[in-house]
Amino acid sequence: MAERTRPIRIEFCVTEQERQLIQSKMAQLGTKNIGAYLRKMAIDGYIIKVDYTQQKKPAAAVSRVASNTNQICRRINSSGHLYTEDVAELKERQAEIWSLLKETQRKEL
């Protein structure tokens, strides 16, 4: 036990109803580690769960634009030509990002 990062053991007893309530709150957070949950609650008294699902769409759109930009830059560096279709595609992708950001902002307000 000397090599453990947390060598001090604290134990407490709960009723079946309390255990179910703890497990229910853990399920709401999406955690399965009861030790980590109880430690966090004992130290901080609360846990904040942040939902990032709305940020995933704009992040994916930005990633696509960055990928397209890199491909276009490679093509320009190898051929020395910039095509109007490339510029149009980048503008289209930027418009997609702006619409996603505006949609997210509307939902938050």
Q: Tell me: the pLDDT tens digits for 55-98?
A: 787 888 888 888 888 888 888 888 888 888 888 888 888 888 88
Q: Which of 33, 26, 79 is nearest to 49 (CA)?
A: 26
pTM recorded for the entire structure: 0.45
| Position 15 confidence tier, pLDDT thresholds 50, 70, 90 | very high
Contact 46, 40 (CB under 8 A): no
* Angle at 50 (CA atoms; ends 18, 53), nearest 5 degrees: 125
pLDDT at 26: 92
- From CA 87, how far away is CA 95, in angstroms rounded? 12
